[in-house]
Amino acid sequence: VPEQILDHVIRCQSIDAEYHGNKKEQRHLNVLVPLGVPQTGMDTVQHLYSFMCQNTCPSGINHRPFEVVFTLEDEMGTVYGRRKLNVGVSFSPKRSKESKERDFLEKLDSNDAASPSDGKKTEKVDIKSSTGMLPALDTRLYTLT
């Protein structure tokens, strides 16, 4: 891996990708990828990205959410659009999902136990589905146009 790429958490699988910025100079790290043209019969262009873990400690990238900003601009730097996505990367998505569900349920239980009784009748709603799993928190499909 070329040295100028080592600090970058996000890497594009495009051979035309250019990597800018570095940690030593405290400049934002960014990846410049030419949009290109769609393949015949398509109206979209796809780019594949990889997220690199910079260390293996528990506080690594797979345990912290972060934001990725996509900017569409021309070669003169004129910005035509910008989208920010909240990203969570996990080495083990199933384990992370189960852990978050367990933490969520424990938080609900602790809130129920901590709430003062004011004499009003409250009905506890079971948020689990018939399969016993929590519904997905975000099932939207994101498409950048």
Annotated binding residues: 53, 57
Binding-site residues for Zn(2+) sit at: 53, 57
| Nearest Cα to Cα of residue 83 among 73, 72, 102, 69 | 69
Instruction: Classify strands 49-51 and 66-73 as parallel, antiparallel or unpaired.
Output: unpaired
Instruction: Classify strands 49-51 and 10-12 as parallel, antiparallel or unpaired.
Output: antiparallel
Whether 42 and 27 have beta carbons less than 8 Å apart is answered as no
Residue-wise burial string across 71-93, b where 16 or more C-beta atoms lie within 10 A, e elsewhere: eeeeeeeeeeeeeeeeeebeeee
Decide: helix, strand or coil at residue 47: coil
